[in-house]
Amino acid sequence: MTKLQEINFDGIIGPSHNYAGLSLGNIASSSNAGEASYPREAALQGLAKMRHNIALGLAQGFFMPLDRPNIGWLNALGTTVNKAESHIRAAAYSASSMWAANAATISPAPDSKDGKCHMTVANLQTMPHRSHEWPGTLAQLQLAFASQDNFAVHGPVPSPFGDEGAANHMRLCAAHGDVGVEIFIYGKSGGPFPARQNIEASKAVARRHAITEERVILAQQSDKAIAAGAFHNDVVAVANEQVLFAHEEAFEHREEFYAEVKRKFPQAEIITVPADKVSLADAIKSYLFNAQLVTLPDNNGMALILPTEAKDTESVWSYLQELVAGNGAIRKLCPVNVRQSMANGGGPACLRLRVVTDPELVDQRFIATPQKLDAIAEVVEQYWPETIIPNQLTDADLLGKIQDARRAVLKTCGLMELES
Ligand code: SUG
Protein backbone atom coordinates (compact mmCIF):
# COMPACT_ATOMS: atom_id res chain seq x y z
CA MET A 1 0.00 0.00 0.00
CA THR A 2 1.34 3.41 -0.89
CA LYS A 3 0.62 6.55 1.07
CA LEU A 4 -0.62 9.19 -1.33
CA GLN A 5 -0.05 12.80 -0.43
CA GLU A 6 -0.08 16.13 -2.22
CA ILE A 7 3.44 17.44 -2.73
CA ASN A 8 3.97 20.97 -4.02
CA PHE A 9 7.06 21.22 -6.20
CA ASP A 10 8.17 24.84 -6.50
CA GLY A 11 10.40 26.11 -9.27
CA ILE A 12 13.52 27.65 -7.73
CA ILE A 13 13.63 31.19 -9.14
CA GLY A 14 16.59 31.25 -11.51
CA PRO A 15 19.54 33.66 -11.55
CA SER A 16 18.43 35.26 -14.84
CA HIS A 17 15.05 36.45 -13.47
CA ASN A 18 14.26 39.69 -15.31
CA TYR A 19 11.41 41.84 -16.59
CA ALA A 20 11.56 41.72 -20.37
CA GLY A 21 7.83 42.17 -21.03
CA LEU A 22 7.58 38.94 -22.98
CA SER A 23 4.01 37.83 -22.22
CA LEU A 24 1.29 39.63 -24.15
CA GLY A 25 -1.94 39.36 -22.19
CA ASN A 26 -0.13 39.17 -18.84
CA ILE A 27 -0.65 42.66 -17.45
CA ALA A 28 2.11 42.55 -14.82
CA SER A 29 4.66 41.35 -17.39
CA SER A 30 3.75 44.13 -19.83
CA SER A 31 3.58 46.90 -17.27
CA ASN A 32 6.94 46.07 -15.66
CA ALA A 33 8.82 45.64 -18.96
CA GLY A 34 12.30 47.14 -18.76
CA GLU A 35 12.29 47.55 -14.96
CA ALA A 36 15.15 46.35 -12.78
CA SER A 37 14.60 42.88 -11.31
CA TYR A 38 16.22 41.46 -8.18
CA PRO A 39 17.00 37.78 -8.83
CA ARG A 40 18.61 37.16 -5.43
CA GLU A 41 15.69 38.63 -3.55
CA ALA A 42 13.27 36.81 -5.86
CA ALA A 43 14.83 33.40 -5.17
CA LEU A 44 14.93 34.08 -1.42
CA GLN A 45 11.23 34.99 -1.50
CA GLY A 46 10.49 31.69 -3.24
CA LEU A 47 12.54 29.74 -0.68
CA ALA A 48 10.77 31.54 2.17
CA LYS A 49 7.41 30.47 0.73
CA MET A 50 8.59 26.84 0.68
CA ARG A 51 9.78 27.11 4.29
CA HIS A 52 6.45 28.64 5.27
CA ASN A 53 4.53 25.76 3.71
CA ILE A 54 6.74 23.13 5.32
CA ALA A 55 6.08 24.80 8.67
CA LEU A 56 2.34 24.38 8.02
CA GLY A 57 2.97 20.64 7.78
CA LEU A 58 2.78 20.39 3.98
CA ALA A 59 4.99 18.22 1.79
CA GLN A 60 7.33 20.28 -0.38
CA GLY A 61 9.60 19.62 -3.33
CA PHE A 62 11.45 21.77 -5.85
CA PHE A 63 12.74 21.88 -9.40
CA MET A 64 16.05 23.30 -10.52
CA PRO A 65 16.26 26.42 -12.68
CA LEU A 66 16.90 25.63 -16.36
CA ASP A 67 20.11 26.41 -18.20
CA ARG A 68 19.81 30.03 -19.31
CA PRO A 69 20.49 31.60 -21.70
CA ASN A 70 19.43 28.62 -23.79
CA ILE A 71 22.35 28.67 -26.18
CA GLY A 72 21.22 25.51 -28.01
CA TRP A 73 17.90 27.20 -28.81
CA LEU A 74 19.68 30.31 -30.10
CA ASN A 75 21.97 28.13 -32.23
CA ALA A 76 18.95 26.28 -33.63
CA LEU A 77 17.66 29.71 -34.66
CA GLY A 78 20.97 30.33 -36.42
CA THR A 79 22.17 32.91 -33.94
CA THR A 80 24.15 33.41 -30.73
CA VAL A 81 23.78 35.36 -27.48
CA ASN A 82 25.78 38.25 -28.94
CA LYS A 83 24.21 38.36 -32.35
CA ALA A 84 20.57 37.69 -31.47
CA GLU A 85 17.99 40.45 -31.74
CA SER A 86 17.09 41.72 -28.31
CA HIS A 87 13.64 40.07 -28.08
CA ILE A 88 15.14 36.70 -29.02
CA ARG A 89 18.03 37.14 -26.59
CA ALA A 90 15.55 38.00 -23.82
CA ALA A 91 13.50 34.89 -24.67
CA ALA A 92 16.64 32.75 -24.37
CA TYR A 93 17.44 34.28 -20.97
CA SER A 94 13.99 34.04 -19.42
CA ALA A 95 13.79 32.38 -16.01
CA SER A 96 10.16 31.50 -16.74
CA SER A 97 10.50 27.84 -15.72
CA MET A 98 10.14 29.14 -12.13
CA TRP A 99 6.37 29.01 -12.74
CA ALA A 100 6.12 25.28 -12.20
CA ALA A 101 2.32 25.30 -12.53
CA ASN A 102 3.08 25.49 -16.25
CA ALA A 103 5.59 22.64 -16.22
CA ALA A 104 3.15 19.79 -16.75
CA THR A 105 -0.35 18.44 -16.16
CA ILE A 106 -0.54 15.78 -13.49
CA SER A 107 -3.18 13.06 -13.13
CA PRO A 108 -2.64 11.14 -9.90
CA ALA A 109 -2.66 7.34 -9.99
CA PRO A 110 -6.22 6.83 -8.65
CA ASP A 111 -7.62 8.76 -11.65
CA SER A 112 -5.97 6.67 -14.31
CA LYS A 113 -7.16 3.36 -15.71
CA ASP A 114 -3.65 1.88 -15.45
CA GLY A 115 -3.12 2.97 -11.82
CA LYS A 116 -0.07 5.09 -12.64
CA CYS A 117 0.44 8.78 -11.98
CA HIS A 118 0.52 10.39 -15.43
CA MET A 119 2.36 13.59 -16.32
CA THR A 120 2.43 15.46 -19.63
CA VAL A 121 5.11 18.09 -19.96
CA ALA A 122 3.56 21.34 -21.24
CA ASN A 123 4.62 22.52 -24.70
CA LEU A 124 4.05 26.21 -23.80
CA GLN A 125 4.21 26.96 -27.48
CA THR A 126 2.15 30.16 -27.49
CA MET A 127 4.97 32.26 -26.05
CA PRO A 128 8.43 32.00 -27.66
CA HIS A 129 10.28 32.44 -24.35
CA ARG A 130 8.34 29.56 -22.82
CA SER A 131 8.28 27.27 -25.86
CA HIS A 132 11.85 26.08 -25.23
CA GLU A 133 11.29 25.13 -21.58
CA TRP A 134 9.89 21.67 -22.12
CA PRO A 135 13.05 19.64 -22.90
CA GLY A 136 14.72 20.85 -19.67
CA THR A 137 11.53 20.31 -17.71
CA LEU A 138 11.02 16.84 -19.16
CA ALA A 139 14.55 15.85 -18.14
CA GLN A 140 13.76 16.79 -14.53
CA LEU A 141 10.40 15.01 -14.51
CA GLN A 142 12.05 11.87 -15.86
CA LEU A 143 14.64 12.03 -13.12
CA ALA A 144 12.36 12.97 -10.24
CA PHE A 145 9.65 10.47 -11.17
CA ALA A 146 11.82 7.73 -12.62
CA SER A 147 9.90 4.71 -11.32
CA GLN A 148 8.11 3.42 -14.41
CA ASP A 149 5.95 1.14 -12.30
CA ASN A 150 4.42 4.20 -10.67
CA PHE A 151 4.74 7.08 -13.13
CA ALA A 152 4.09 7.58 -16.84
CA VAL A 153 5.91 10.72 -17.97
CA HIS A 154 4.74 11.89 -21.42
CA GLY A 155 6.41 14.21 -23.91
CA PRO A 156 4.61 17.37 -25.07
CA VAL A 157 1.34 17.46 -27.01
CA PRO A 158 2.30 18.18 -30.63
CA SER A 159 1.98 21.57 -32.31
CA PRO A 160 -0.07 23.56 -33.05
CA PHE A 161 -2.08 22.83 -29.91
CA GLY A 162 -0.91 25.07 -27.08
CA ASP A 163 -0.72 23.39 -23.69
CA GLU A 164 0.16 25.34 -20.53
CA GLY A 165 -0.03 22.52 -18.01
CA ALA A 166 -1.56 22.48 -14.54
CA ALA A 167 -2.41 26.20 -14.63
CA ASN A 168 -5.43 25.17 -16.72
CA HIS A 169 -6.31 22.02 -14.84
CA MET A 170 -8.20 21.44 -11.59
CA ARG A 171 -9.05 18.29 -9.69
CA LEU A 172 -11.96 17.61 -7.36
CA CYS A 173 -11.85 14.64 -4.98
CA ALA A 174 -12.97 13.68 -1.48
CA ALA A 175 -9.33 13.42 -0.37
CA HIS A 176 -6.13 13.74 -2.42
CA GLY A 177 -5.53 9.98 -2.47
CA ASP A 178 -9.07 9.18 -3.67
CA VAL A 179 -10.26 9.01 -7.24
CA GLY A 180 -10.92 12.49 -8.64
CA VAL A 181 -12.77 14.38 -11.34
CA GLU A 182 -10.38 16.30 -13.56
CA ILE A 183 -11.35 19.66 -15.04
CA PHE A 184 -9.52 20.88 -18.13
CA ILE A 185 -9.98 24.58 -18.93
CA TYR A 186 -9.30 25.88 -22.42
CA GLY A 187 -9.61 29.27 -24.09
CA LYS A 188 -10.96 30.33 -27.48
CA SER A 189 -8.91 32.71 -29.57
CA GLY A 190 -10.35 35.86 -31.13
CA GLY A 191 -9.99 38.32 -28.27
CA PRO A 192 -7.32 41.00 -27.79
CA PHE A 193 -4.93 38.54 -26.09
CA PRO A 194 -3.85 35.01 -26.99
CA ALA A 195 -5.83 32.07 -25.59
CA ARG A 196 -2.95 29.92 -24.43
CA GLN A 197 -4.68 26.59 -23.76
CA ASN A 198 -6.09 24.89 -26.84
CA ILE A 199 -9.06 22.55 -26.37
CA GLU A 200 -7.37 19.88 -28.50
CA ALA A 201 -4.38 19.88 -26.13
CA SER A 202 -6.69 19.50 -23.13
CA LYS A 203 -8.52 16.58 -24.76
CA ALA A 204 -5.22 14.95 -25.75
CA VAL A 205 -3.87 15.14 -22.20
CA ALA A 206 -7.05 13.61 -20.77
CA ARG A 207 -6.85 10.74 -23.29
CA ARG A 208 -3.13 10.14 -22.76
CA HIS A 209 -3.65 10.03 -19.01
CA ALA A 210 -6.32 7.33 -19.45
CA ILE A 211 -8.93 9.06 -17.30
CA THR A 212 -12.43 7.58 -17.52
CA GLU A 213 -14.59 9.91 -19.63
CA GLU A 214 -17.17 10.20 -16.86
CA ARG A 215 -14.52 11.82 -14.69
CA VAL A 216 -13.32 14.39 -17.22
CA ILE A 217 -14.82 17.86 -17.58
CA LEU A 218 -13.83 20.30 -20.30
CA ALA A 219 -14.75 23.91 -19.60
CA GLN A 220 -14.17 27.13 -21.47
CA GLN A 221 -12.47 30.03 -19.76
CA SER A 222 -14.49 33.21 -20.25
CA ASP A 223 -13.39 35.51 -23.06
CA LYS A 224 -13.95 38.36 -20.64
CA ALA A 225 -11.46 36.95 -18.14
CA ILE A 226 -8.78 36.45 -20.81
CA ALA A 227 -9.36 39.98 -22.13
CA ALA A 228 -9.03 41.33 -18.57
CA GLY A 229 -5.61 39.67 -18.18
CA ALA A 230 -6.37 36.16 -16.87
CA PHE A 231 -3.99 34.45 -19.27
CA HIS A 232 -4.33 31.18 -17.31
CA ASN A 233 -7.34 29.74 -15.49
CA ASP A 234 -5.40 29.73 -12.20
CA VAL A 235 -5.65 33.53 -12.17
CA VAL A 236 -9.44 33.27 -11.70
CA ALA A 237 -10.10 29.86 -10.12
CA VAL A 238 -8.52 27.24 -7.86
CA ALA A 239 -9.68 23.87 -6.53
CA ASN A 240 -8.65 21.63 -3.69
CA GLU A 241 -10.31 18.36 -2.67
CA GLN A 242 -14.07 19.03 -2.68
CA VAL A 243 -13.78 22.83 -2.97
CA LEU A 244 -13.91 24.86 -6.17
CA PHE A 245 -13.18 28.54 -5.48
CA ALA A 246 -13.79 30.73 -8.53
CA HIS A 247 -14.62 34.21 -9.68
CA GLU A 248 -18.15 34.67 -10.99
CA GLU A 249 -16.76 35.65 -14.40
CA ALA A 250 -14.12 32.92 -14.70
CA PHE A 251 -16.03 30.57 -17.05
CA GLU A 252 -17.80 31.18 -20.35
CA HIS A 253 -20.81 28.96 -19.60
CA ARG A 254 -20.81 29.00 -15.82
CA GLU A 255 -24.18 27.42 -15.08
CA GLU A 256 -23.69 24.51 -17.50
CA PHE A 257 -20.20 23.95 -16.14
CA TYR A 258 -21.36 23.98 -12.51
CA ALA A 259 -24.18 21.55 -13.39
CA GLU A 260 -21.67 19.13 -14.91
CA VAL A 261 -19.45 19.46 -11.82
CA LYS A 262 -22.41 18.63 -9.56
CA ARG A 263 -23.38 15.68 -11.71
CA LYS A 264 -19.91 14.19 -11.90
CA PHE A 265 -18.88 15.09 -8.35
CA PRO A 266 -21.99 15.61 -6.18
CA GLN A 267 -19.97 16.45 -3.05
CA ALA A 268 -18.49 19.56 -4.71
CA GLU A 269 -18.59 22.75 -2.67
CA ILE A 270 -18.50 25.63 -5.11
CA ILE A 271 -17.57 29.03 -3.71
CA THR A 272 -18.26 31.72 -6.28
CA VAL A 273 -16.87 35.18 -5.60
CA PRO A 274 -19.40 37.68 -6.96
CA ALA A 275 -18.19 40.42 -9.29
CA ASP A 276 -19.99 43.05 -7.25
CA LYS A 277 -17.84 42.17 -4.23
CA VAL A 278 -14.54 41.61 -6.05
CA SER A 279 -14.28 42.93 -9.61
CA LEU A 280 -12.42 40.91 -12.21
CA ALA A 281 -9.86 43.73 -12.29
CA ASP A 282 -9.25 43.47 -8.50
CA ALA A 283 -9.09 39.67 -8.69
CA ILE A 284 -6.40 39.92 -11.37
CA LYS A 285 -4.49 42.76 -9.71
CA SER A 286 -4.43 40.99 -6.33
CA TYR A 287 -4.07 37.42 -7.65
CA LEU A 288 -6.65 36.29 -5.08
CA PHE A 289 -7.27 33.05 -6.99
CA ASN A 290 -3.61 32.40 -7.57
CA ALA A 291 -3.50 31.37 -3.95
CA GLN A 292 -2.46 27.86 -3.06
CA LEU A 293 -5.60 26.31 -1.61
CA VAL A 294 -4.23 23.61 0.67
CA THR A 295 -5.53 21.08 3.18
CA LEU A 296 -3.94 21.58 6.57
CA PRO A 297 -2.95 18.51 8.56
CA ASP A 298 -4.86 17.30 11.63
CA ASN A 299 -8.32 18.20 10.37
CA ASN A 300 -7.63 21.91 10.51
CA GLY A 301 -9.51 22.65 7.33
CA MET A 302 -8.09 24.48 4.34
CA ALA A 303 -5.84 27.52 4.05
CA LEU A 304 -5.21 30.00 1.27
CA ILE A 305 -1.53 30.83 0.75
CA LEU A 306 -2.03 34.24 -0.82
CA PRO A 307 0.22 36.89 -2.28
CA THR A 308 0.55 39.93 0.01
CA GLU A 309 -1.08 41.90 -2.83
CA ALA A 310 -4.38 40.24 -1.80
CA LYS A 311 -4.08 41.82 1.63
CA ASP A 312 -3.29 45.18 0.05
CA THR A 313 -6.44 45.12 -2.13
CA GLU A 314 -9.30 46.30 0.04
CA SER A 315 -12.21 44.58 -1.72
CA VAL A 316 -10.34 41.29 -1.72
CA TRP A 317 -9.21 41.39 1.87
CA SER A 318 -12.63 42.29 3.22
CA TYR A 319 -14.21 39.49 1.14
CA LEU A 320 -11.65 37.04 2.55
CA GLN A 321 -12.29 38.13 6.13
CA GLU A 322 -15.97 37.33 5.64
CA LEU A 323 -15.13 34.02 3.98
CA VAL A 324 -13.00 32.67 6.84
CA ALA A 325 -15.44 33.96 9.46
CA GLY A 326 -18.17 31.86 7.82
CA ASN A 327 -16.99 28.51 9.21
CA GLY A 328 -16.79 26.92 5.78
CA ALA A 329 -13.99 24.75 4.41
CA ILE A 330 -11.51 27.65 4.09
CA ARG A 331 -10.39 28.69 7.56
CA LYS A 332 -7.01 30.33 7.36
CA LEU A 333 -5.38 33.11 5.29
CA CYS A 334 -1.60 33.14 4.89
CA PRO A 335 -0.19 36.06 2.90
CA VAL A 336 3.32 35.44 1.55
CA ASN A 337 5.68 37.88 -0.15
CA VAL A 338 6.49 36.77 -3.70
CA ARG A 339 6.52 40.29 -5.14
CA GLN A 340 9.45 39.67 -7.49
CA SER A 341 7.57 36.85 -9.20
CA MET A 342 4.27 38.73 -9.02
CA ALA A 343 5.78 41.59 -11.02
CA ASN A 344 5.99 39.11 -13.92
CA GLY A 345 2.47 37.77 -13.32
CA GLY A 346 3.39 34.75 -11.19
CA GLY A 347 1.73 34.29 -7.79
CA PRO A 348 2.11 31.60 -5.12
CA ALA A 349 0.16 29.01 -7.15
CA CYS A 350 2.08 29.71 -10.37
CA LEU A 351 5.30 28.85 -8.59
CA ARG A 352 4.25 25.30 -7.75
CA LEU A 353 3.30 22.03 -9.41
CA ARG A 354 1.05 19.76 -7.38
CA VAL A 355 1.80 16.05 -7.52
CA VAL A 356 -0.25 13.55 -5.56
CA THR A 357 1.94 10.52 -4.90
CA ASP A 358 3.79 8.68 -2.18
CA PRO A 359 6.79 10.92 -1.37
CA GLU A 360 8.95 7.81 -1.07
CA LEU A 361 8.46 7.12 -4.78
CA VAL A 362 10.08 10.44 -5.70
CA ASP A 363 13.82 10.91 -6.18
CA GLN A 364 14.66 12.38 -2.75
CA ARG A 365 16.98 14.98 -4.28
CA PHE A 366 13.84 16.89 -5.33
CA ILE A 367 12.25 16.80 -1.86
CA ALA A 368 12.71 19.90 0.28
CA THR A 369 13.71 19.97 3.93
CA PRO A 370 14.47 23.12 5.96
CA GLN A 371 18.18 22.16 5.94
CA LYS A 372 18.27 21.79 2.15
CA LEU A 373 16.48 25.10 1.72
CA ASP A 374 19.09 26.73 3.96
CA ALA A 375 21.86 25.28 1.80
CA ILE A 376 20.15 26.52 -1.38
CA ALA A 377 19.67 29.96 0.20
CA GLU A 378 23.41 30.12 0.87
CA VAL A 379 24.12 29.43 -2.80
CA VAL A 380 21.59 32.08 -3.80
CA GLU A 381 23.19 34.65 -1.46
CA GLN A 382 26.59 33.90 -2.89
CA TYR A 383 25.89 33.49 -6.62
CA TRP A 384 22.58 35.02 -7.72
CA PRO A 385 22.93 38.47 -9.33
CA GLU A 386 21.53 41.16 -7.11
CA THR A 387 19.85 43.01 -9.94
CA ILE A 388 19.31 42.79 -13.71
CA ILE A 389 18.01 45.40 -16.13
CA PRO A 390 16.94 43.71 -19.39
CA ASN A 391 19.28 45.87 -21.49
CA GLN A 392 22.22 44.31 -19.57
CA LEU A 393 21.58 40.92 -21.14
CA THR A 394 24.39 41.55 -23.62
CA ASP A 395 26.90 41.66 -20.77
CA ALA A 396 29.35 38.72 -20.92
CA ASP A 397 30.13 38.93 -17.18
CA LEU A 398 26.46 38.59 -16.36
CA LEU A 399 26.22 35.53 -18.60
CA GLY A 400 29.12 33.86 -16.77
CA LYS A 401 27.61 34.72 -13.39
CA ILE A 402 24.24 33.21 -14.32
CA GLN A 403 25.83 30.00 -15.57
CA ASP A 404 28.02 29.68 -12.45
CA ALA A 405 25.02 30.25 -10.22
CA ARG A 406 23.06 27.42 -11.77
CA ARG A 407 26.02 25.07 -11.64
CA ALA A 408 26.43 25.87 -7.93
CA VAL A 409 22.82 25.04 -7.06
CA LEU A 410 22.91 21.80 -9.10
CA LYS A 411 26.05 20.80 -7.22
CA THR A 412 24.54 21.61 -3.83
CA CYS A 413 21.50 19.48 -4.63
CA GLY A 414 23.55 16.61 -6.11
CA LEU A 415 21.87 17.11 -9.49
CA MET A 416 24.88 17.67 -11.75
CA GLU A 417 23.45 15.25 -14.34
CA LEU A 418 21.05 18.06 -15.26
CA GLU A 419 23.95 20.38 -16.11
CA SER A 420 23.45 20.57 -19.86
O1 SUG B 1 3.71 32.69 -18.70
N2 SUG B 1 5.27 35.37 -17.05
C3 SUG B 1 4.61 34.07 -16.98
C4 SUG B 1 3.77 33.95 -15.73
C5 SUG B 1 3.23 32.56 -15.54
C6 SUG B 1 2.25 32.46 -14.44
N7 SUG B 1 1.81 31.13 -14.30
C8 SUG B 1 0.56 30.75 -13.96
N9 SUG B 1 -0.46 31.57 -14.03
N10 SUG B 1 0.38 29.53 -13.63
C11 SUG B 1 3.74 33.83 -18.23
O12 SUG B 1 3.11 34.78 -18.69
C13 SUG B 1 6.84 36.98 -17.99
C14 SUG B 1 8.24 37.00 -18.53
C15 SUG B 1 8.72 38.37 -18.89
O16 SUG B 1 7.95 39.21 -19.34
O17 SUG B 1 9.96 38.61 -18.75
C18 SUG B 1 6.22 35.59 -17.95
O19 SUG B 1 6.63 34.73 -18.71
Catalytic residue among 17, 232, 249, 252: 232
Annotated catalytic residue 334: no
Catalytic residue among 164, 182, 249, 252: 164
Give the nearest ligand 1 atom to 33 CA.
16
From CA 364, how far away is CA 419, in angstroms rounded?
A: 18
CA atoms within 13 A on the CB side of 186: 16
Annotated catalytic residue 164: yes
Question: Which pLDDT score is estimated for 2?
Answer: 61
Ligand 1 probe mutation, 13, 102, 123, 353, most atoms within 8 A of CB:
102
How far does residue 168's CA lie from ligand 1's centre (Å)?
A: 14
CA torsion through residues 209, 211, 215, 217, sign: positive
- Asked if residue 350 has its Cβ within 6 Å of ligand 1, the reply is yes
Per-position DSSP letters for 160-215, written without gaps between them: TS---GGGGEEEEESSTTS-EEEEEEE--S-SSS---S-HHHHHHHHHHTTB-GGG
Nearest alpha carbon, ligand 1 atom 14: 22
pLDDT digits (tens, 9 = 90+) for 61-103: 999 999 999 999 999 999 999 999 999 999 999 999 999 999 9
- Asked if residue 29 has its Cβ within 6 Å of ligand 1, the reply is yes
- Asked if residue 232 has its Cβ within 6 Å of ligand 1, the reply is yes
- Asked if residue 105 has its Cβ within 6 Å of ligand 1, the reply is no
- Asked if residue 23 has its Cβ within 6 Å of ligand 1, the reply is yes
- Asked if residue 344 has its Cβ within 6 Å of ligand 1, the reply is yes
Nearest alpha carbon, ligand 1 atom 8: 350
Ligand 1 probe mutation, 232, 235, 389, most atoms within 8 A of CB:
232
Among 313, 253, 329, smallest CA distance to 277 is for 313
Question: CB–CB of 181/265 below 8 Å?
Answer: yes
Q: Place 327 in a pLDDT band, splitting at 50, 70 and 90.
A: confident
Question: Which pLDDT score is estimated for 369?
Answer: 98
How far does residue 166's CA lie from ligand 1's centre (Å)?
A: 14
Q: Place 171 in a pLDDT band, splitting at 50, 70 and 90.
A: very high
Q: Is 397 helix (H, G, I), strand (E, B) or coil?
A: helix
Question: Which pLDDT score is estimated for 276?
Answer: 97
Give the nearest ligand 1 atom to 127 CA.
1
Q: Place 420 in a pLDDT band, splitting at 50, 70 and 90.
A: confident
How confident is the model over 321-333, as a mean pLDDT?
A: 96
User: pLDDT at residue 277 above 80?
Assistant: yes
Among 79, 123, 90, smallest CA distance to 23 is for 90
Contact partners, residue 51, CB within 8 Å, separation at least 6: 370, 373
How far does residue 177's CA lie from ligand 1's centre (Å)?
A: 30
Ligand 1 probe mutation, 17, 132, 231, 392, most atoms within 8 A of CB:
231
Compute, in degrees rounded to 10, the torsion defined by CA atoms 358, 408, 45, 247. Answer: -50
Nearest alpha carbon, ligand 1 atom 12: 23
How far does residue 346's CA lie from ligand 1's centre (Å)?
A: 6
How far does residue 1's CA lie from ligand 1's centre (Å)?
A: 39
Catalytic residue among 132, 241, 249, 350: 350
Annotated catalytic residue 309: no
Q: Angle at Cα 191 formed by Cα 187 and Cα 193, nearest 5°?
A: 80
How far does residue 154's CA lie from ligand 1's centre (Å)?
A: 23
From CA 123, how far away is CA 44, in angstroms rounded?
A: 28
Give the nearest ligand 1 atom to 29 CA.
16
User: 0.85 exceeded by the pTM?
Assistant: yes
How far does residue 262's CA lie from ligand 1's centre (Å)?
A: 32
Give the nearest ligand 1 atom to 21 CA.
16
How far does residue 420's CA lie from ligand 1's centre (Å)?
A: 24
From CA 337, how far away is CA 49, in angstroms rounded?
A: 8
How far does residue 212's CA lie from ligand 1's centre (Å)?
A: 32
